Homo-oligomer: A and B are copies of this chain.
């Protein structure tokens, strides 16, 4: 390579890194030779020399098959964002995330770590201090003193949902819960939001009931209908997928229930704002990956590139409330 361009190796190096001025014609010669030989600097050698590997580890353990769809959005978005900032993403899907993360950080393969699909007692978060690299979680695990956390403020989301209904004079909301398995594995954000709703409902003297996801199926939808008809329920807060909520709403409407006269509806579900929900005028606080991932990337790259200390940092973002006719 250096021979072909008739320059020294250092000239080649500087031509690529731009860390010292090069005469235009020399630069030209180098780049032509590079093109000719299909040359690219060797990643391994480069990594050995420089502190920056431009690789981050994306830890998304496969806890639960059913959950894949929702957090796939997150790590695709995460990879996109990291790429924009010049980083490649190493996908770690092992069940036991900790060992894998240690392997890639301690061997100096990855500059930083991103944890996704956080559970309440997340072991990957608890072990963050042992990675020797900055670490950030999308979510808020119980132990978070050794890493940064970015998440929607689900505490606030629960409160906003309850307060909005309270302001409209509603007293008896029902909470359409997401998959039971999500609660069994103690999905962090779901627990936080559910607790918050109960706390605030109590404070406002409201009667909050819950419906398991299975009861949303057609055969059981009757019960929900009757609760509303008999005025035992006057509002719905849903965390099931929009398409399922749509099924419920349509079923209720076909039985003569009117929104928001008979029942208010608020959706708090994964995914970008749903056009179907908007079409029906259903209010929603969507869980959109984009702003969260962008914030997480910014924080992590700051830690990697400027050496900022981020352990213990918690950044909770205010949910966006699309208020529509359903409340």
Q: Which residues of A contact B (CB under 8 A)?
A: 38-49, 53, 55, 58, 60, 62, 65, 68-69, 72-73, 75-76, 79-80, 83, 88-94, 100, 103-104, 106-109, 132, 218, 243, 247, 250, 272
Contacts and interface: CB of A to CB of B under 8 A. Distances in A.
21 contacts: A40-B103, A42-B107, A43-B44, A43-B108, A44-B46, A44-B47, A44-B48, A44-B53, A45-B48, A47-B47, A55-B90, A68-B73, A69-B73, A72-B72, A72-B73, A80-B93, A83-B100, A89-B91, A90-B91, A218-B250, A247-B247
A138 B241 CA distance: 29
A88 B92 contact: yes
A68 B76 contact: yes
Contacts of A65: 272
Given A43-B108, A62-B76, A107-B40, A90 B93 contact: no
A108 B42 contact: yes
A79 B103 contact: no
Contacts of A247: 247
Contacts of A45: 44, 48
A92 B88 CA distance: 7
Contact of A90 (B49, B72, B89, B243): B89
